[in-house]
């Protein structure tokens, strides 16, 4: 029973502290609660303007999404092929020394360039 009371007391203290911080911040910023309540309906009307549903743009959006998917489908196998070629070229047990040096240099340059 004591543990439950301690948890409630701790939660109440946190809530009281956060309420005090919010009240002090509102007072410092000059928040006028009656003015805030009076402006709430206007704010809701303006907020609704941001979320007007319009399906007229869906074909264009689906077209752009298809272009994005096609770019990913083309770029991924190409990147895999390049990565495999560089990995095999940089492997010390699979490639001759001059070739290995070239590919290790390529990997070092790729790592040196920041994202």
- Domain co-membership, 72 together with 91: yes
Q: Cα angle at 34 between 25 and 13, to 5 degrees?
A: 40
115 vs 9, residue with greater confidence:
9
Q: State the alpha helices, DSSP H only, in the chain.
A: 2-29, 33-38, 40-50, 58-90, 97-112
Question: For residue 36, what are the domain limits?
Answer: 1-52
Per residue in 15-33, pLDDT (tens digit) is 999 999 999 999 899 888 8
- Residues whose CB is less than 8 angstroms from the CB of residue 99 and which lie 6 or more positions away in sequence, other chains included: 89
Count the domains in the chain: 2
Per residue in 72-92, pLDDT tens?
Answer: 999 999 999 988 888 888 887
Q: Within this chain, do residues 13 and 37 fall inside the same structural domain, yes or no?
A: yes
Residue 89 and residue 60 in one domain: yes
Domain co-membership, 12 together with 31: yes
Per-residue pLDDT tens for 32-69? 888 888 988 898 888 888 877 778 888 888 999 999 99
């Amino acid at each position: 029973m004591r543990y439950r009371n301690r948890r409630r007391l701790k939660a109440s203290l946190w809530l009281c502290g956060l309420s005090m911080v919010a009240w002090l911040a509102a007072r410092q910023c000059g928040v006028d609660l009656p003015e805030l309540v009076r402006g709430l309906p206007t704010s809701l009307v303006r907020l609704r303007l941001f979320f007007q549903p319009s399906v007229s743009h869906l074909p264009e959006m689906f077209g752009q999404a298809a272009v994005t998917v096609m770019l990913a489908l083309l770029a991924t196998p190409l990147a895999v092929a390049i990565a495999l070629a560089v990995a095999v070229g940089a492997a010390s047990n699979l490639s001759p020394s001059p070739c290995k040096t070239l590919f290790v240099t390529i990997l070092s340059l790729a790592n040196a360039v920041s994202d």
